[in-house]
Amino acid sequence: MSNEIEVKKLCELSKLEIPDEMILETSNKIREVMSLFHKLDELDISSADDTDSYGGLRIEKSLDSLRGDVPRRSFSVTDSVAKLKLLNTRNGFVLGPRI
Amino acid sequence: MFKENLKIGLEIHCQLTNLNTKLFCNCLSNYRNSLPNDNTCPICLGLPGTLPLLNKRAVDFASMVCIALNCKIPEKISFYRKNYFYPDLPKNFQITQYNSYEISSIGYEGHFSIDDDSGAFTQMANSKPSKSQIRISRIQLEEDPGKIVYEDEKTSANTYSLIDYNRAGVALIEIVTEPDFSSSHDVRIFLNDLINIFEYLGVCDPSLEGSIRCDVNVSLRGGKKVEIKNISSFKDVEKSINYEVTRQRTMIMHDMEVQAETRHWDEKRKITISSRSKEEEEEYRYFPEPDIPVILLGGQSFVSSIRSQMHELPNERLQRYKEQMGLSTHTANILANSKKISDYFEESLKHYNSPIEISNWIVNELLSKINEMEKSDASKGVVIDLAAKMSPAMIANMAKLVSEKGLNRNMAREIFAKSFQSGEDPYYIVKSMNVEKISDSEEILSLITETLEIQPTLIDQSKTNPNVVNFILGLIMKKTRGRTNPQLAIKLIQDVLSSKKN
Amino acid sequence: MTNLLELPAHVVIGKIKGNDLKAVEYVSVLIQRIKDIDYKINSFISTNFENAIKQAKIVDKKIQSGESVGMLAGIPIGIKDNISVKGLRNTCASQMLRDYESPYNATVVTNIEFQDGIVMGKTNMDEFGMGNTSEYSSFGPVKNPWNSEYVAGGSSGGSAAAVSSLQVPLALGSDTGGSIRCPSSFCSVVGLKPSYGRVSRSGLISYSNSLEQIGPVARNITDLALLFNTIEGTDAFDNTTACSHKKSVINSLDQITSKGYQIGIFSNLTENSDIQVQSKLMEMIKVFERHQFVLENIDLRLKEFAVAAYYIIATAEASSNLSRFDNVRYGYPSNPEGFEWNRYYEKSRSLFGDEVKRRILLGSFVLSAGYFGKYYAKAQAFRNMLRTEFERLFKKYDVLILPTMPILPIKLGEKISNPVQLYNFDLFTILANLTGLPAITLPAGFSDTGLPIGIQIMANSFEEQKLFDLAVLFEDESKFTERTPTI
């Protein structure tokens, strides 16, 4: 399952670059972990209470517990955006790569 | 025309512009007046360690739209992460809702009827006016990404991008329909209805640029589905569908297979263009957002409490206008199809409760005057505010003058025009023109006698020609510049003539 | 001098409040300690000395002028470097964030400052919390204060080592799968993983959101309670925090004994531990027996699936959480101009360490189309089953005892190339994270080679008080606070 090609596809999906000389080692290690994951194949989940809930132990809260729609500068960032120390900016815009 | 089996589905993104704050932080929902990146905070910039804080009112607003589109609202809602990288996406995932594993979205399985009436010409064969039912598969709450700005208009000419995150995190609802539209015309009607609903509910101002965006999917003759993305104006939605239908039709004619693909709408050239890599887009690796709890809405009591906060909907108003006020379908439609106009109408009724008279003045006189103005060169492109041109109280007075003071139509139109021009209340115009009706029987009788003395032959003619009554009325009207109360005059003329017959 | 270093924080606070000791004096002594020894341990990534002195002077001034001071008055605290402190670098021990300075405070830091606690510096860790040895730090491994050839445990190795080596009396760590308890156990300090939702995560750089909590590390149970009471509680900045619960208290021995706790011992887990770990656990049991508590051996069902489920969820959430590090808005100096964006992302993200990259790839895999049900959904279903299993046990028992780690601290570099083996060492600690339950690790003694051993106690959600009660009893008998390492 996790042959080299698959690792390359995962890299693309995760925007990670693994150097060619590392691909084999990476896929071997990933394969080892995958075999650990396969233990779950033996688990019978038919007795699970809440199989339709995919969030695990999801916390439930009432709608009323949510914040009101009141404008406010969040956290202690009070004055200017300069405080956020954005990495590369030009005329207030964030400088990003070519699209 | 042979059956093409055209199927169109829509995905409409609508910003909840009437919220004060973004979906997950306290930054302003109105990002449109801010300097670049000034309307941001650690949360909407996705700074490490920040957590989304869901806006309760966004849930309320979205629920209203769900109710208006007859969607089911689940007991609980949850959020999912849609994982993909893009420089306008601060966290490189979007918090949205997703129904593949459970019902997570605020609304599902809705439906909405659109009127095919005005489109009857497209279906000559069965010209019976009909309603089409459009199924709504879901309505979900999600966050808007930021905006990428290009210095050079030609995207590929730029060696870098400029990103403004002011919009990032603004609350959106995405409305997804089933492929139930069979013509671009139906799509237009639906979108107009939808805009109207947004305005009625006060959740979104459709006039704001970029507040509503639409993706379309089109398939022909049971063929593959083609998605058109990036249509930012509703006018272009119809155009893009027509373009796509023609394109697919041509392909089929030439025995070429239509590919399932995503195409982008080129606003400038008005064509759809194939966009790359479909397979990558599909791999969104959705999973439940662990930082937002499952929200318990409260079932039926929640729905009724939202319902009670909701403004009357367009179709409800239409019903009321027709059934309770007795307006014609045509008039009722014109009023209800615009919240502004129907609110104006409602306001006028508070001054003088005569729906038929007032609605006629609005629809036949006021709106056509406004229309003329909007088309004139002087105010091209300017949207004229009804109430600023003529207050609801003034139009109510207009109606009152006609139905209570017996002002005749021609005179009333003249007064209306003056009032529209000058902004003066019709009531005072009438006063100053001394055009109040002559409703005194003695005075009218003497006018009749005077007339018959000048043209005595009329008495004889009246015995054979019933139109003589109206002719005499005309003469009296002319003499009094239309000020004579016509109902009273006709009765008196008939009395006088019948007394002479013997 | 040495005496001052060894004093428990609650005693120091008493002295400072009573004007017997100046906060600035105490802070200065600790700063000197860090300067003197931390090069041997590597527990701090960055320090905040200048500011700490300033803060200490403010505390002193308040006391001079008779103003009231908070419950952590003048106490320097180490903060794990994945918890945001305004104006300080926040690296997560990663080159990706080596220059990132947080513009805001984590809620726990705001709370500490509100109680007049002082941020002393940011502590070393496994990169983004991914590890249990603190060797996967791009700022070098943390060394065990008891023997510098051994690992300090991870991922909050810097916090545990700094507290253990008397550089700070208190520290914050974060615990995703044992990251507070493992290093606390390896360094012979007390560490608490609170119930899920008890402490705000706002400002904690997420590794696996649904598993992790911030928690305190201390040398004694009273100090631990002070820091825990400071940081816990509902927070408007974290929608996953629970409603308020009673503050924890240090009860008297008599009060505790009279509660007659029912204790379960996970014998089927203990069996699989190092023999020396087992014998320390037996010693702890004897202490509780002397207090007439009921102790019974029990088996935990389903244990064989825990490690798989844990790593599936942790890697899945991590792969998404770490997506935001693309070096566009923040990160390390670099110029994106001229790069095609996909290329830029691949290039900028190459600064993640190998273990982090592997976990991102694994996470992307388990979430990808067609595998969601097989891995992620099943792992989540398992969490519910495991939680049900624990609820069954808590019907009968107040607390459950098991080793913190199945092994003694390992040598630096010994296992670094064998991730799966390292993952399996987490079995005892991840149980609390998978279920959201609170768990504490207590220093239980030393191996024959002088390496620390910790024993873990678990309780039902929001019943941290029971953990404190048992810890008080055990601390009183075992005197685990009295030994300190020689550096």
Supply the pLDDT for residue B55: 98
What's the average model confidence in pLDDT over C477-484? 82
- Within a domain: residue B257? no
Asked whether residue C33 is assigned to any structural domain, the reply reads: yes
Would you call B290 and C205 a contact, using CB atoms and an 8 Å cutoff?
A: no
Quote the minimal CA–CA distance from A34 to chain C in Å.
8
User: What's the domain range around C202?
Assistant: 2-253+471-478
* Interatomic CA distance for residues C285 and C281, integer angstroms: 6
Verify that B463 and B374 share a domain, yes or no: no
Give the residue, B429 or B96, on which the prediction is more confident.
B96
Instruction: Provide the mean pLDDT of chain B.
Output: 88
Q: Name the nearest CA neighbour of C211 among C9, C3, C443, C436.
A: C436
B171 shares its domain with B317: no
Report the gap between the CA of A37 and the closest CA in chain C (Å). Answer: 5
Q: What is the mean pLDDT of residues C180-189?
A: 98
Mean of pLDDT values over C290-300: 95
DSSP string, C181-213: HHHHHHHT-EEEEPPTTSB--TTB--SSTTT-E
Q: Residue C134 gets which letter from DSSP?
A: S
What are the residues facing B134 on neighbouring strands? B112
pLDDT of residue B6: 93
Please tell me the least confidently modeled range out of B130-134, B151-155, C14-18, C414-418: B151-155
Split at pLDDT 50, 70, 90, the class of C241 is very high
Q: pLDDT higher for B259 or B377? A: B259
Tens digits of residue pLDDT in B162-201: 999 999 999 999 999 999 999 999 999 999 999 999 999 9
Question: Dihedral sign, CA of B432, B434, B439, B441?
Answer: positive
Interface of C with B in 408-447 (CB under 8 A): none
- Chain-chain contact of A84 with B55 (C-beta, under 8 angstroms): no
Q: What is the mean pLDDT of residues B287-311?
A: 96
pLDDT-derived band at B439 (thresholds 50, 70, 90) equals confident
Gap between the Cα atoms of B441 and C344, Å rounded: 93
Residues B295 and B323 grouped into a single domain? no
Of C240, C360, C385, the CB nearest to A59: C240
B413, B394: one domain: yes
pLDDT reading at B129 higher than 70: no
Average pLDDT of the residues in A29-34: 92
Evaluate whether residue C154 is within a structural domain.
yes
Nearest CB among C307, C340, C378 relative to A43 is that of C378
Give domain status of residue C463, yes or no.
no
Number of residues that make up chain A: 99
State the greatest distance between any 2 C-alpha atoms of chain A, in Å, as a whole number: 59
| Chain B interface with C: residues with Cβ < 8 Å | 42, 45-54, 81, 83, 85-87, 90-93, 101, 159-161, 163, 165, 282-283, 285-287, 290-293
By the CB < 8 Å criterion, does B120 face chain A? no
Catalytic residue among C43, C138, C156, C179: C179
DSSP assignment of B179-222: S-B-SHHHHHHHHHHHHHHHHHHTS--TTSTTSEEEEEEEE-TT
Using only the alpha carbons of chain C, give its radius of gyration.
Answer: 21
Residue C242 near residue C195, CB atoms below 8 Å:
yes
Any chains having at least 3 CB pairs less than 8 A from chain B are A, C
pLDDT exceeds cutoff 80 at C92: yes
CB contact under 8 A, B48 and C238: no
Task: Spell out which residues of chain A touch residue C236, defining contact as CB-CB under 8 Å.
Answer: 67
pLDDT exceeds cutoff 90 at B401? no
> Who contacts B366 (Cβ-Cβ below 8 Å, separation ≥6)?
B386, B389, B390, B395, B420
* Pairwise CB contact (< 8 Å): A70 & B47: no
Report the pLDDT value the prediction gives residue A52, as an integer from 0 to 100. 47
- What span, in angstroms and rounded, lies between the C-alpha atoms of C300 and C264? 10
Whether C74 and chain B come into contact, CB under 8 Å, resolves to no
Can you give the length of chain C in residues? 487
Q: Strand pairing partners for C151?
A: C143
Give the mean pLDDT of C24-45. Answer: 98
Average pLDDT over residues B351-375: 90
Domains held by chain A: number: 1
Averaged pLDDT score across all residues of chain C: 96
Nearest to B413 by CA among B476, B353, B482: B482
B445 and B388 within one domain: no
Strands C170-175 and C76-80: parallel
Closest to B92 (Cβ–Cβ): which among C84, C324, C367?
A: C324
- Give me the domain span that covers residue A14: 4-42
Contact B241, B218 (CB under 8 A): yes
What's the pLDDT tens digit per position in C195-221? 999 999 999 999 999 999 999 999 999
Identify the pLDDT of residue A80: 47
Is residue C319 annotated as a catalytic residue, yes or no?
no
User: Which residues on chain B are in Cβ contact (under 8 Å) with A70?
Assistant: 20-21, 26
pLDDT grade for B123, boundaries at 50, 70 and 90: very low
C377 at B interface, C-beta within 8 A:
yes
CB spacing of A29 vs C387 below 8 angstroms: no
pLDDT at residue B304 tops 90 = yes
Total-model pTM: 0.90
Residue B262, in any domain of the structure: no
Q: What total of structural domains would you count in chain C?
A: 1
Residues B320, B385: one domain?
yes
Does A15 fall in a domain? yes
Chain C hits for B163, Cβ within 8 Å: 328
Which residue, among B13, B5, B493, B502, has the nearest Cα to B249 in the 3D structure? Answer: B5
Higher-pLDDT residue of B383 and B123 is: B383
Please name the residue that has the structure tokens 């139906």.
Answer: B186
For chain A, list the contacting chains (3+ Cβ pairs, <8 Å): B, C
**pLDDT tens digits, C307-318:** 999 999 999 999
Q: Which of B51-60, B252-261, B301-310 has the lowest mean pLDDT?
A: B252-261
Query: B residues 148-187 near A, CB within 8 Å?
Result: 148-150, 155, 158-165
Q: Does B64 touch chain A (CB under 8 A)?
A: no
Query: Is C479 an annotated catalytic residue?
Result: no
CB contact under 8 A, C338 and A98: yes
A62 contact B CB<8A: yes
CB A74 within 8 A of CB C105: no
Residue C173's pLDDT is what? 98
Say yes or no to pLDDT of B73 above 80. Answer: yes
Inform me whether the pLDDT recorded for A83 exceeds 90.
no
Number of domains in chain B: 3
Residues of chain B with pLDDT > 90, as a percent, come to 57
A87 and chain C in contact, CB less than 8 A: yes
Give the pair of three-digit tokens for residue C154: 């991870």
Tell me, yes or no, whether B323 lies in a domain: yes
Query: Tokens representing B125?
Result: 């064969």
When pLDDT is cut at 50, 70 and 90, the band that residue B446 belongs to is confident
Instruction: For C7-23, write each residue's pLDDT tens digit.
Output: 999 999 999 999 999 99
Give burial (CB, 10 Å; 0-12/13-18/19+) of B211. Answer: buried
Degrees (nearest 5) of the Cα angle C274, C192, C382?
A: 70
In one-letter notation, the amino acid at residue C463 is E
Q: Say which of A18, A37, A57 has its CB closest to residue C308.
A: A37
Assigned domain for C159 exists: yes
Using 50, 70 and 90 to split pLDDT, how confident is the model at B274?
confident
Between chain B and chain C, the number of residue pairs with CB atoms below 8 A apart is 112
Does residue B220 lie within any of the structural domains? Answer: no
Closest-CA distance, C103 to chain B, in angstroms, reads 8
ipTM rounded to 2 decimals: 0.96
Mean pLDDT of C232-251: 95
Based on the residue annotation, tell me whether C143 is a catalytic residue of this protein. no
| CATH number of the CATH domain containing C235 | 3.90.1300.10
Q: Pick the residue from chain A with its C-alpha nearest to B156.
A: A99
- Note the pLDDT tens digit of each residue in C104-119: 999 999 999 999 999 9
Q: Is the pLDDT of residue B130 over 90?
A: no
CA distances from C147 to C6, C140, C187, C453 (A): 19, 16, 10, 13
Chain segment C334-377, per-residue pLDDT in tens: 999 999 999 999 999 999 999 999 999 999 999 998 899 899 99
Q: Is the pLDDT of residue A77 over 80?
A: no
Q: Which of B433, B460, B491 is the last residue of a domain?
A: B433
- Establish if B20 touches chain A: CB-CB under 8 angstroms: yes
B195 with B289, same domain: the answer is yes
User: Do B481 and B429 share a structural domain?
Assistant: no
Q: Does residue B385 have a pLDDT over 90?
A: no
> What pLDDT is stored for residue B389 in this prediction?
82
Please report the sign of the dihedral spanned by the C-alpha atoms of residue B413, residue B415, residue B421, residue B426.
Answer: negative
Is the CB of C384 inside 8 Å of chain B's CB atoms?
Answer: no
Q: What is the pLDDT of residue B486?
A: 83
Residues 314-343 on C with a CB inside 8 Å of B are: 316-317, 319-320, 323-326, 328-330, 336-338, 341-342
Is the model's pLDDT at A51 over the cut of 50?
no
Choosing from B433, B468, B484, the residue where a domain stops is: B433
Q: Is residue A12 part of a domain?
A: yes
pLDDT (tens digit per residue) in B415-438: 898 888 888 888 878 777 765 677
- Decide if B164 and A99 are in contact by the 8 Å CB cutoff: no
Of the three residues B402, B433, B464, the one that is the final residue of a domain is B433
In a domain, A21, yes or no: yes
Please give the residue range of the domain that contains residue B164: 8-215+279-300
Mark whether B416 and B477 lie in a shared domain.
Answer: no
